[in-house]
Structure 1
Amino acid sequence: MTALLRMEELTVVPVKSPQRKLVNQVSFVLESGKTTCVVGESGSGKSLTALSVMGLLSEQLQRIHGRVIFQGRDLASLSSEEMRGIRGKQIGMIFQEPMTSLNPVLKVGYQIGESLTEHLGLRGKALRAKVGSLLEQVGIPAERADSYPDELSGGQRQRVMIAMSIACEPAMLIADEPTTALDVTVQAQILKLLDELKTRMNMGMLFITHDFGVVADIADDVVVMFRGEIVESGPVAEVLGNPQHPYTKALLDCVPDADGKKPLKPIDYAWLTNGAHP
């Protein structure tokens, strides 16, 4: 299949300390209709990789090497104006924390409708109808378009974020730890919803997580990151069933089993110096 997204040797550094490589030579492929999970601990470079795709790195960071090929175009070479035409329309993104990503003083319907007006030119009754339809697609009554974020539960706010991200039916969706801080029941509902939307819209989904349980549920392929580098990648069954890198094995040792009998091991970084998995 033709790659929807091809990341080629992406390297990101701080502007003031270019010798520090926060993301180093990261390369992977995402296909339409597939889910690639990027997994690793906090600080491993997962979110920076996602923000690099969207062209949303802060002014303190810069890409010094690599290409981000989306539908045959190198996003890293596009102007700010060209990237604004892609964000929200061709690539949607669900950010980590909906309460800080949503504007607390604007109704959620208005916030969903912004990209529809910007990219599709919808206004008035057509806009309101589309917003209501999007809310219903993610399991929220259309009349809640007039609610403010603090009037919704955490799960509902996350569903609003999903509605915003799919509003223009993008070819690709980036989900940056979208189930963090949600209870396990709501997490399962959100994961099921995302998988259904991906299948129905034939989207490619780049899913950022630290949870191998989530990876096992939704991924087609998995990329394991440690200290800004990919240490292992491949089809999810292969990586989970026969992990090769000590770090991947250590992460899997942290995952509890269903009956709670498996002893959990904290990650021992001794392998960094002796190369052996504890």
Structure 2
Amino acid sequence: MSELLNIKNLTITPKAAPQKLLVNGVSLTLESGKTTCIVGESGSGKSLTALSIMSLLSPQLAKTSGQIMFQGQDIGQLSNQALREIRGKRIGMIFQEPMTSLNPVLTVGYQIGETLTVHLGLNGRALKEKIASLLEQVGIPANRANSYPDELSGGQRQRVMIAMSIACEPALLIADEPTTALDVTVQAQILQLLDTLKTRMNMGMLLITHDFGVVADIADDVVVMFRGEVVEQGSVTAVLRNPQHPYTKALLDCVPDAEGKKPLKPIDYAWLNEIKASIPA
């Protein structure tokens, strides 16, 4: 395995309030062919961390420190033109909401084809054949290339997003909660599809989720975030079997068991006060 992504001490703040740390000193690594899951509740900084890799942060936000190394290159220092050569080609991304990420007035085939034309120069028959192949890879009949997003189900739209993200066979795939709003059966199908594609293409995958069930199914390593900071990280086996941080333990207590016998506990933040009290003034 070779190191694909290395984030060191990433800090993100609002430009209008630089003292407010939205992401604070985040560091993580990802190897080719492996899956790292970032897990945490809403507002913990998961998506901001992912968007910073692609330099897609809102203009109101700023990366104030940190280094993002991708395939040995500091991509945080690249120009917009250089980044456009990477986005979609060497790094693919699946965004949270396929209905809002897809253009409703363009066919899904056209939208998949844009990436292939821009990055690979495909057109004509070769382009149509590649679009058909990608749709079939993600389990959608090739003739649906002429469909509009509103003619597809939520699961089908998510598969179209996956087809777009893998079109150029990227080295890194970022999946930001790819199973949001899908039913349990479709969630399992999407996760299995992502894992199969990752193995086939030897991609590294950075997957963002709220769900430790997803982590257990697909991850090699896990990063737990809370209030913009990494509170625990390690192999999925080590973290799930022997969590060290109170927040990780609290998240795991929220996961139901298969028999439905385990009592679910709301997250108790009493431990946060204990940690604050232990820090010298």
What's the TM-score once normalised by structure 1's chain length? 0.98
Q: 1:274 deviation in Å? A: 1.4
d(CA) in 2 for partners of 1:268, 1:78: 43
Structure 1 counterpart of 2:206: 206
State the secondary structure of the residue aligned to 2:135: helix
Matches within 5 A, 1:46-125: 46-125=46-125
Q: 1:2 deviation in Å? A: 2.7
Matches within 5 A, 1:229-268: 229-268=229-268
Matches within 5 A, 1:140-219: 140-219=140-219
Matches within 5 A, 1:118-137: 118-137=118-137
State the secondary structure of the residue aligned to 1:81: helix
Structure 2 counterpart of 1:11: 11
1:35 aligns with 2:30: no
d(CA) in 2 for partners of 1:194, 1:131: 18
d(CA) in 1 for partners of 2:112, 2:271: 47
Q: 1:75 deviation in Å? A: 1.0
**Counterpart amino acid of 2:180?**
T
Structure 2 counterpart of 1:139: 139
Q: 1:275 deviation in Å? A: 3.5
d(CA) in 2 for partners of 1:40, 1:31: 21
State the secondary structure of the residue aligned to 1:178: coil
d(CA) in 2 for partners of 1:76, 1:246: 33
**Residues 97-134 of structure 1 deviation map (CA, whole Å, 9 limit, x = unaligned):** 10000000000000000010000000111101100000
**Residues 217-252 of structure 1 deviation map (CA, whole Å, 9 limit, x = unaligned):** 000000000000000000000000000000000000
**Counterpart amino acid of 2:111?**
Q
State the secondary structure of the residue aligned to 2:104: coil
Number of residue pairs matched? Answer: 276
State the secondary structure of the residue aligned to 1:27: strand
Question: Which consecutive aligned stretches of 4+ in structure 1 deviate over 6 angstroms post-superposition?
Answer: none
d(CA) in 1 for partners of 2:68, 2:3: 12
State the secondary structure of the residue aligned to 2:37: strand
**Counterpart amino acid of 1:132?**
A
State the secondary structure of the residue aligned to 2:189: helix
d(CA) in 1 for partners of 2:20, 2:28: 22
d(CA) in 1 for partners of 2:114, 2:42: 31
Q: For structure 2, which runs of at least 5 residues remain unmatched after alignment? A: 277-281
The share of aligned pairs that are identical, in percent, is 77
**Counterpart amino acid of 1:228?**
G
What's the TM-score once normalised by structure 2's chain length? 0.97
**Counterpart amino acid of 2:9?**
E
**Counterpart amino acid of 1:227?**
R
**Residues 141-165 of structure 1 deviation map (CA, whole Å, 9 limit, x = unaligned):** 0000000000000000000000000
State the secondary structure of the residue aligned to 2:64: strand
Structure 2 counterpart of 1:26: 26
State the secondary structure of the residue aligned to 1:68: strand
State the secondary structure of the residue aligned to 2:131: helix
State the secondary structure of the residue aligned to 1:217: helix
d(CA) in 2 for partners of 1:259, 1:243: 22
d(CA) in 2 for partners of 1:10, 1:246: 23
State the secondary structure of the residue aligned to 1:200: helix
d(CA) in 2 for partners of 1:2, 1:257: 36
